[in-house]
Amino acid sequence: MLKGWLLAFILALFSALRVFWCSRSATALEVLALRQQLAVFKRKRPRPALRAWDRVFWTSLRRLWPRWSEVLVLVQPETVVAWHRAGFRRYWRWRSRRRGGRPRIDSETQALIRRLARENPAWGAPRIHGELLKLGLAVSERSVARYLRSRERRGDPKQRWLAFLQNHREAICAMDFFTVPALTFQLLYGMFVIEHGRRRILHCNVTRHPTADWVVQQLREAFPEACPYRYVILDRDTKWDDDVMAFLQAAGLQVKHTSVRSPWQNGVAERWVGSCRREMLDHVIAVNEDHLRHLLRAYVHYYHQDRTHDSLAQDAPQARPVEHKPAANAALVSLPRVGGLHHRYAWRAAA
């Protein structure tokens, strides 16, 4: 292929030298005829296939002849410039290729470095390097730093937030609102306070008008005495105004606002709302405030006394004892909860 291209190039070169012995009128007519044929060819094949040596020819001609763009018809001049820049990058990539040096770290050690960085966001290269040495892996600190460049400097904010929730779960409570449409197409607002430790609902109530005074009164009922909690998590809803913030600070609670559009940061409260909707609200129509309040109280009672939770090792928020079968002929009875939507099961000795 290369020999054929060179032969065609040499023949074209000799044909071009013939121009120097022809008259200017004959040369102009030949150029006109060639341009007309190129125009016809371009109509038949708007994008002709070009080879690598074609690109080399035009990038070289661009350096040698200032008027190269005036006779170019196959491609745009910007395309030739792009070819030249691509060749420039390939040339310097070839010049900068690896020619030996320190051997690369094996993939297992690379994965271990990233694992240590992921599980310990506060660790830097020196700390990870020391841990690797204690594991018998001879890796330099500089190599560890090279594999940590793609990691954020301060680690993963999500992991730090989850670690905060896990380490302070006994001292954290959360608050949130949820809405329920009533039978008369009115919108009812439910407010609840939940603790993180045992997932207990500290308070829950309903209103049509969630004013600041109403919210503060609900907080007084949720925290009637000295507050045993240290942090409270809530979103950036405008219902949490200055009066609410002042009451929380007076109760000794440090407010932790979630980020904008980040419901996962208040996951305990969001999961309770989801459970309440799936297990009760999606199956009933609230007539009015009193009806919805009655339904929520029944669900909270079931939630505390009967419902098991994965995060509590399949226990209820108010510890539910294990009932062993008292006798071989004992019968299993079902106790309806939340109007029969759910049931609790227990053993009853035969009469």
Q: Are 291 and 308 in contact (CB under 8 A)?
A: no
Residues sharing a CB contact under 8 Å with residue 36, sequence separation 6 or more, in sequence order? none
Q: Are 73 and 35 in contact (CB under 8 A)?
A: yes
| Domain extent listing, the chain | 50-92, 107-155, 163-312, 321-351
The encoded tokens of residue 112 equal: 């271990």
At 42-53, the pLDDT tens digits run 656 666 666 666
Which pLDDT score is estimated for 133?
87
Which pLDDT score is estimated for 29?
66
pLDDT at 305 over 90: yes
- Strand order through the sheet with 187-195: 201-207, 187-195, 172-181, 231-234, 254-257
pLDDT category of residue 85 using cuts at 50, 70 and 90: confident
Which pLDDT score is estimated for 144?
87
Which pLDDT score is estimated for 338?
93
Residues sharing a CB contact under 8 Å with residue 191, sequence separation 6 or more, in sequence order? 175, 176, 177, 203, 204, 205, 206, 207, 210, 215, 218
| Separation of CA 294 from chain center | 39
pLDDT at 92 over 90: no
Least confident of 51-60, 65-74, 100-109: 65-74
- Three-class SS state of 124: coil
DSSP state for residue 170 in the 8-state scheme = G
Which pLDDT score is estimated for 20?
63
Residue whose C-alpha is closest to residue 184's, from 292, 282, 280, 279: 292
Which pLDDT score is estimated for 165?
80
3-state SS of 287-347? CCHHHHHHHHHHHHHHHHHCCCEHHHCCECCCCCCCCCCCCCCCEEEEEEEHHHCEEEEEE
Distance CA(26)–CA(264), nearest Å, equals 80
pLDDT at 298 over 70: yes
Q: Are 173 and 218 in contact (CB under 8 A)?
A: no
Q: Are 292 and 276 in contact (CB under 8 A)?
A: no
Helices (H) and strands (E) in the chain, counts: 12, 7
At 193-231, the pLDDT tens digits run 999 999 999 999 999 999 999 999 999 999 987 788 999
What CATH class is the domain 163-312? alpha beta
Whether pTM exceeds 0.75:
no
Which pLDDT score is estimated for 30?
66
Which pLDDT score is estimated for 65?
63
Distance CA(78)–CA(86), nearest Å, equals 12
Distance CA(281)–CA(206), nearest Å, equals 13
Output the DSSP codes for 230-283: -EEEE---TTS-HHHHHHHHHTTPEEEEPPTT-GGGGHHHHHHHHHHHHHTGGG
Which pLDDT score is estimated for 17?
62
The encoded tokens of residue 106 equal: 């094996």
